[in-house]
Structure 1
Amino acid sequence: MISLLAVTLTVSAATPVLTLDEALEAARQNNLDLKVARARLEQSRLLSNRAWAAYLPTVAVSGSYTRNSAEAVVALPGGPEIVIQPLNQFAAQAEVRQALIAPSLWPAIRNAGIAEDVAELNTDNVRREILFVVAQSYYGAASYQEAIRATEFLLEVNKAREADTQKRFDVGTVTRVALLRAQLDRARAEQDLVRARNAFSSSRLALATLLQRDADFTLELPPVPQVPPPDVDLAQQALEQRPDVAAARRNLDLALGRRQGVWFSYLPGVSLSGVYRLGNATGFAGQNDSWALTIGAQWTLWDGGLREINLREESARVAEASAQQKQAESRAVEEVSRARLEYENAQANLAKAEEALGLARETQRLTEISFKAGVATYLEVADANSALTNAEVGAISERLQTSLAALRLLRAAGLFAAKE
């Protein structure tokens, strides 16, 4: 009897093997969703610069040329003539403005830094989710590939059994019903193989799309991911490690900072401005240039109630952010507990599937021996081979479910793909 482990997937020798680590690294480099998230992060990193720009000095220069209808000259008694309005008038001006005391900008600068932190955490969460999907797709495609080997094994067995039955029918030792059963089993095995190959091709194409590469690779089934033992408090680790929980906390800080910014808008502001002017009209001062320094203060005492409206709005946003933080923490704890139960259940199912596989292998071996001794019938051998293949496929499926459950547990605890 052909051993299942000896049956290999028929692929070109030049087809590369893609490992799980290689797939995750390719996703980090090429995944389009991750590139979009990084581009948005780069945009968010400019928030602090934009906030500081309002506190930095501004410099502006301007110039003009005016053609007047007539020249205006004033002759003072005992003094020189002063050109008040030249026929061709040129002027230039340079102005510098600097905020000295701007209370509304102080929390805005701090809030910009918090908003950058939130963007960093959200991007990290997107990265983890994308890599989690890639890992899920990899395990699924690799399991379909293993299922192909199991169905190929059943097909080879049924082909051999059909050929043997045909010979027996030709010499009259079996009935035509036995031959038809053998042909039916072979046809079903061929159909199952087509389904398995199509499922593998589809899952491999989905994985290739995530990695932005051609689907010209085979896979190696990785071991079931290792998870921390039951005595490790994964719920606490989730509260400490998950970026979505950290982002919810920083969003609360941001909401508090924005409300503080409204309170600071009640304070007065002080600014400094300097102007230098140059022109070809001297004016009564008798100079072509002039300068001025101005210190100004502004204090809005009443703005029609807009600040009070903003204050109530920001207070409501603080309450919303506080509830969202508690919601994120509760969801993280709940996801860890549910993922732990699913993993334990998957482990139990895998153990039963492996036990059933061992029994099916022994049954198939004994049935084959009995058939060769003339004790077992062809139908008993066919049923044993079919049961063995079903057990192989069942073990592969349960192994996949256990791997996916382990991935979900690691993701819920914030431990999957924690590092960039």
Structure 2
Amino acid sequence: MTRLVSFVFLSLVASSSQAQSQSDSLLPSATVDQCIRYALTHQPIIQQAGIDEQLTDLSVRNRLADWYPQIGANYSLQHNFQRQTSFFNGVATPVGATNTSAAQLYLNQSIFNRDVLLARSTQGDVRLQARQATESRKIDVVAGVSKAYYDVLTTRQQIQVANENIARLQKSLNDAYYRYTAGVTDKTDYKRAQITLNNTTATKQANEAALKAKVEYLKNLMGYPVNEPLNVVYDSLQMEREVAFDTLQMPEYARRIEYSQLATQRRLQEANVLYQRNAFLPNVSATAGYNFNFLNNNFGKLYANNYPNSFVGLTASVPIFQGGKRKINVRSAQLQLTRTDLDILNLKNAINSQFATALGNYKANLANYNASKANVALAQEVYDVIQLQYKAGVKTYLEVITSEADLRTAQINYFNALYQVLAAKVDAERALGTLAY
């Protein structure tokens, strides 16, 4: 009974922990900031970048371990069926023992080694390079998630506009039909209303299908569970406030992660040039060892007597002639450094071009957004007036349909413009190097 109660208790605790873990990995409501924070934690690309940083750190530590004393031991056991023979003064005499055993304890200490010196002098930049790769991936994820989030919101708003239009068109269709049955108008009015209603319904269905795909794409960028719902929420006023961007800013190369990566790469290549130039320097190491030697023709007494020997020494290896390899390696390292300098120059030009393009797109989309926002209010006012005039018999139904189409187009254009200006702002911040995460 005690074991049964314990098993039930542990099962409940495990189930509760699993449910809590699953709950922690979901978002009850997803704003753009929450989506970004979630992606930076759960996106496999970011997790892989973290693993790459750990692997880089372990690789550096592995290379630096060569500075420490290398201590080891060897052991051997040998039985000779036939001993070696020595021929001296015309006499052949067997030498050695039938059974031999040896053990060695050795120590090796590097004193000067250019490989280890390179690892020691570049360890900071190597680790920095791994962190910069992680930062670059984070920026890519933030930009992708932000754009996908705004795209989802735009499509949802278009669906909401379609629902409002369908309700309005359905009422308009009913009014037109009643006027036709009353003999006030002919059937063309309600037929036109039916056509417009059908087109709006088809557009809504297309947007609903597109919304599912866009939500799945956003979940993919976030690393969100596939089979779990993602409730995207937003504040329309906050979104409109996020449109603002300081267009007087100028790009600074050092703020771009790509520039920082090239600067780090250049420092590493400078270290490589020095490394290749120092190829003529010797490798120096100190060694020490203690050997245990056991010799006996009687295997049972093999370890009765030990004939040890020990030593300490200094080893230096100096390259004298390598067929011009050192000059070739130095020249190759210098060319790689020159190529990186050209990459930096090209990146500077590209940054200026990218920012100018992104800023131009932002300004154009901002102007379109402001015009679209004003057009929505104007189209709504025109529609309301024409609708009243139609009911009063002053305007034709064709003018009602036209004003309704203008209103619908203005609403859709407004949300498209809002998405485009927010996406353009993301591109501008990325080009400027100020995209926050």
Coarse TM-score class (shorter-chain normalised): 0.7 to 0.9
Counterparts of 1:197-346 in structure 2 under 5 Å?
197-211=208-222, 212-214=224-226, 216-221=229-234, 223-224=239-240, 225=242, 228-233=245-250, 235-236=251-252, 239-281=253-295, 288-346=307-365
Report if the CA contact (8 A) 2:243-2:422 is conserved.
no
- State the match for 2:14 in structure 1: none
Structure 2 CA distance for partners of 1:149 and 1:100, relative to 1, 3 Å = same
Q: Distance in 2 between matches of 1:383 and 1:290?
A: 107
* Superposed structure 1 runs of 4+ greater than 6 Å apart: none
The equivalent residue for 2:433 is 414
Q: Distance in 2 between matches of 1:271 and 1:16?
A: 63
1:84·1:281 contact (CA, 8 Å) conserved in 2? no
Q: Answer with 400-409 or 370-379: which moved more.
A: 370-379
1:287 Cα deviation (Å)?
5.2
Paired with 2:266 and 2:326, the residues of 1 have a C-alpha distance of 21
- Normalising by structure 2, we get a TM-score of 0.84
Q: Give 1:253 shift.
A: 0.8
Paired residue type of 2:134:
T
The alignment status of 1:141 with 2:160, answered yes or no, reads no
CA-CA distance at 1:302 after TM superposition: 1.1
Cα distance in 2 for partners of 1:227, 1:46 equals 45
Which residue of 41, 54, 60 corresponds with 1:42?
54
Q: Which range moves more in the overlay, 31-40 or 189-198?
A: 31-40
* Contact residue 145 and residue 219 of structure 1 kept, 8 A: no
Superposed displacement of residue 91, structure 1: 1.2
Distance 2:125 2:33 in 1: 33
Q: Shift of the alpha carbon at 1:24?
A: 0.7
- 1:131 equivalent to 2:148? Answer no
**1:68, 1:88 within 8 Å by CA — same for their partners in 2?**
yes
Report the Cα distance in structure 1 between the residues aligned to 2:407 and 2:115, rounded to whole angstroms: 74
Bigger share in helix: 2
8 Å contact from structure 2 (residues 273, 333) kept in 1 = yes
Tell me which amino acid in the other structure corresponds to 1:337.
Answer: A
Is the Cα–Cα contact under 8 Å of residues 118 and 251 in structure 1 kept in the other structure? yes
> Does the 8 Å contact 2:99/2:295 carry over to 1?
no
- TM, length-normalised to structure 1: 0.87
CA contact (8 A) 1:274 1:292 kept: yes
- 1:93 paired with 2:104, answer yes
Rounded to whole Å, the distance in 1 between the matches of 2:385 and 2:190 is 23
The answer to whether 1:392 aligns with 2:416 is: no
Gaps of at least 5 residues in structure 2 are 1-26, 85-93, 297-304
Match of 2:90 in 1: none
Greater shift, 300-309 or 83-92, is seen at 83-92
Summarize the Cα distance change of 1:71–1:311 in structure 2 as closer, same or farther, 3 Å threshold.
closer
Partner of 1:167: 178
Structure-2 residue corresponding to 1:76: none
CA RMSD in angstroms comes to 2.3
Task: Give the counterpart of 2:38 among 7, 23, 26.
Answer: 26
Quote the residue 2:374 is aligned against. 355
Q: CA deviation at 1:192?
A: 0.9
Alpha-carbon deviation of 1:136?
Answer: 0.6
Once residues 230 and 168 of structure 1 are traced to their aligned partners in structure 2, the CA distance between those partners, rounded to angstroms, is: 55
Matched, 1:54 2:73: no
- CA–CA separation in structure 2 for the residues paired with 1:246 and 1:163: 65
Q: CA deviation at 1:317?
A: 0.5
Separation (CA, whole Å) in 1 of partners of 2:325 and 2:350: 37
How much has 1:228 moved relative to structure 2? 4.9
Q: Is the CA contact (8 Å cut-off) linking 1:143 and 1:221 kept in structure 2?
A: no
Between 1:39-48 and 1:140-149, the stretch displaced more is 39-48
Contact 1:47 1:116 in 2 (8 A): no
Structure 2 match to 1:79 = none
Separation of aligned partners in 1, 2:387 and 2:264: 67
The percent identity for this pair of structures is 18
Question: Is residue 36–residue 145 contact of structure 2 (8 Å, CA) maintained in 1?
Answer: yes
Distance 1:139 1:310 in 2: 51
Which deviations, in whole Å up to 9, do the C-alpha atoms of 1:138-169 show, x marking residues without a partner?
00011110111111111111111112222222
Secondary structure at 1:415 match in 2? coil
Structure 1 CA distance for aligned equivalents of residues 422 and 430 of structure 2: 12
CA contact (8 A) 1:259 1:311 kept: yes
Distance of 1:299 and 1:412 partners within structure 2? 51
**Residue ranges of structure 1 left out of the alignment (5+ in a row):** 1-14, 73-82
How many residue pairs were aligned?
390
Deviation of the 1:227 alpha carbon: 5.4
Q: 2:264, 2:159 → 1: CA distance?
A: 48
CA contact (8 A) 1:47 1:115 kept: no
Displacement after TM superposition at 1:345 (Å) = 1.3
